Amino acid sequence: MFDQRRAPAAAALAALAVLAGCGTADAEADGDDESPDRSGGDEAQRLTVEVLETFDHDRDAFTQGLELRDGVLYESTGQYGSSDVRLVEPGTGEVLSVQQLPSDEFGEGLTLTDDAVWQITWQAGLAYRRDLDTLEPVETVDYEGEGWGLCHDGERLVMSDGSDTLTFRDPETFEAHGTVAVTLDGEELTQINELECVGGQVWANVWQTDRIVRIDPDSGRVGAVVDASGLLTDDEAGPADVLNGIAAAENEGEYYITGKLWPHLFLVRFVEGA
């Protein structure tokens, strides 16, 4: 099933070009030593994925958000008419509980605070604050623009909208109170999708790619790029959509990752490339 969000080919190619570090060649060819160094110094570290374990995942789940708490995954799914929020047993893929969204709303990212689940929508401009146990909505908040990914760093919510901008929001009111522009090797990085806040950094899927990036939320600079390609076999990848979904696991440095309509959930580490 294809993602119903519009996906201009040019945007996809631009995203891939940015990830490959394109856009710097012209400046080097000009030999302009006075050009400002917007990268902040070092280029982003390049990492790969080490798979520790593989689990079953609901092939019908169009995964938009993923987070682990107390051994249970909270998962948000998308698509008009089938969007929901659910509790999932990570070891088996069993759906323990589910709450549907209205058929005219496209579910997007989610995150957890101390006492609630926040789930956002793509173009409806609605954020749902939900009960941690029942997943029932207890409050609905309006916001402007698109919603893509969401995470909580312990003090603030961090939200993506598919552009190069992350927006910081109050975890109680959802009110916006700041933004940061994201750059990779000195160039803007767009298509920022699902988010996971860990240790003062933000891990993010980049839509329509097999890349995951680590963002410093204070500077917006990408410090690491993970190549997560090749996780599915050719037969598995055929009916699947893009890589999407990151949740910090029980052990430090380990993560659960999956994708939209993927048959597997992977427990992984991000390691130095060969």
Is position 3 within any domain? no
Contact in structure between 51 and 257 (CB atoms under 8 Å):
no
Alpha helices for the chain (secondary structure H): 9-19, 25-30, 234-237
**What's the first-to-final CA gap in the chain, in angstroms?**
34
Distance CA 176, CA 259 (A): 28
Of 103, 79, 100, residue with least CA distance to 4: 79
Q: What angle (nearest 5°) sits at the alpha carbon of residue 87, between those of residues 84 and 92? A: 120
Q: Which DSSP helix (H) or strand (E) runs through 69? A: strand 63-69
Domain count of the fold of the chain = 1
The residues, ordered by sequence, that sit 6+ positions from 101 with a Cβ below 8 Å of its Cβ are 83, 84, 85, 107, 121
Run of H or E including 120: strand 117-121
> If you count them, how many residues does the chain have?
274
36-40, 93-97, 125-129, range with the lowest pLDDT: 36-40
**Containing domain of residue 121, as a range?**
9-272
Question: For position 173, which CATH number holds?
Answer: 2.120.10.30
Is 131 inside any structural domain? yes
Cross-strand pairs, 77: 63, 84
Q: What is the pLDDT of residues 94-106, one digit of tens each?
A: 999 999 999 999 9
Q: How far apart are CA 234 and CA 158, in angstroms?
A: 34
Give me the numbers of helices (H) and strands (E) for the chain, helices first please.
3, 22
pLDDT tens sequence across 188-210: 999 999 999 999 999 999 999 99
Give tens-digit pLDDT for 160-172: 999 999 999 999 9
Tell me, yes or no, whether 92 lies in a domain.
yes
2 within a domain of the structure (yes/no): no
> Is 18 among the domain residues?
yes
1 inside domain:
no
Q: What does pLDDT average to over the chain?
A: 87
pLDDT at 186 over 90: yes
Residue 14 to residue 163: CA distance in whole angstroms: 12
- DSSP letter, residue 95: E
One-letter amino acid of 156: R
- Indicate whether 41 pLDDT > 60: no
